[in-house]
């Protein structure tokens, strides 16, 4: 995949920097020939399937990059075919920065890390956002066991297995339900809130 990677990343300014610092000659040898990306290799597919998180970079309309971490159970980044990846983007803090950036410029970069093994995979891609109502088959493919409609027993099992993390942003006595609602509406909390009926 090296040639295609170099085509995308070795811009004229990068080449000038390589020339200035003495590495240009080594990399120039790798740029000879046609683009060599034909699809994900077996090794790359295996690497992706073992990850439980990745970083995704997008670019805003102000030309500033934005990086966000996406996490889930191991293998939540699905290989749909040799050139297509997909994942379910569950609602977070509702800022929608990555989503908005993709709507304006579909270019993204994914950075997948294997910290213990000291390995990484960089993926340049074009992203497409689809709503749940648009493509039921795709929703099923990228959510699997994480699909909506889980039963309480399924959620309990997932929490016990460490596949699902429940973030509790605060515990309020039942008598302060109004304040809890106000804090949610004002976005002063993160995660779920609990109302304690004994408080």
Q: Which residues share a beta bridge with 88?
A: none
Write down the mean pLDDT value for the chain. Answer: 83
Distance CA 192, CA 64 (A): 32
Furthest-apart CA pair in the chain: how many Å?
Answer: 72
Q: Per the CATH hierarchy, to which homologous superfamily does domain 39-146 belong?
A: Electron Transport, Fmn-binding Protein; Chain A (2.30.110.10)
Is the four-CA dihedral 133, 137, 140, 141 of positive or negative sign? negative
59-75 pLDDT, tens digit each: 999 999 999 998 888 88
Two tokens, residue 187: 């976005």
137-177 pLDDT, tens digit each: 887 788 765 554 455 666 666 677 766 666 777 888 888 88
Q: Is the pLDDT of residue 183 over 70?
A: yes
Asked which of 63-72, 101-110, 123-132, 152-161 is least confident by mean pLDDT, the reply is 152-161
Cβ-Cβ contacts under 8 Å for 6 (sequence gap 6 or more): 27, 30, 31
- Could you please report the per-residue DSSP string of 63-83? S-EEEEEEE-STT-SEEEETT
Distance CA 180, CA 194 (A): 9
- Boundaries of every domain in the chain: 1-38, 39-146, 152-196
Q: Is the pLDDT of residue 82 over 50?
A: yes
Distances in whole angstroms, Cα of residue 180 to Cα of each of 5, 92, 158: 50, 19, 27
Count Cβ atoms below 10 Å from residue 158 Cβ, excluding itself. 17
Token look-up 């990555």 returns 98
Whether 129 contacts 147, CB under 8 Å: no
Q: Tell me the pTM.
A: 0.67
């Amino acid at each position: 995949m090296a040639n295609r990677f170099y085509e995308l990343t070795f811009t004229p300014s990068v080449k000038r920097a390589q020339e200035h610092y003495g590495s240009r000659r080594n990399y120039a040898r790798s740029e000879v020939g046609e683009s060599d990306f034909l699809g994900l290799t077996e090794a790359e597919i295996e690497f992706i399937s073992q990850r439980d998180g990745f970083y995704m970079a997008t670019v805003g309309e102000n030309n500033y990059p934005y990086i966000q971490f996406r996490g889930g159970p191991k293998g939540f980044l699905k290989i749909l075919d040799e050139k297509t990846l997909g994942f379910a983007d569950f609602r977070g803090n509702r800022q929608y920065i990555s989503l908005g950036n993709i709507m304006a410029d579909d270019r993204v970069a994914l950075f997948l890390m294997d910290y213990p093994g000291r390995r990484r995979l960089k993926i340049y891609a074009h992203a497409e956002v689809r709503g749940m109502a648009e493509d039921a088959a795709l929703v099923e493919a990228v959510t699997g066991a994480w699909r909506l409609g889980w039963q309480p027993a399924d959620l309990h099992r997932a929490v016990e297995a460490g596949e699902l993390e429940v973030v509790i942003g605060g515990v309020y006595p039942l008598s302060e339900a109004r304040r809890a609602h106000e804090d949610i509406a004002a976005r002063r909390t993160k995660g779920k809130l609990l109302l304690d009926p004994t408080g």
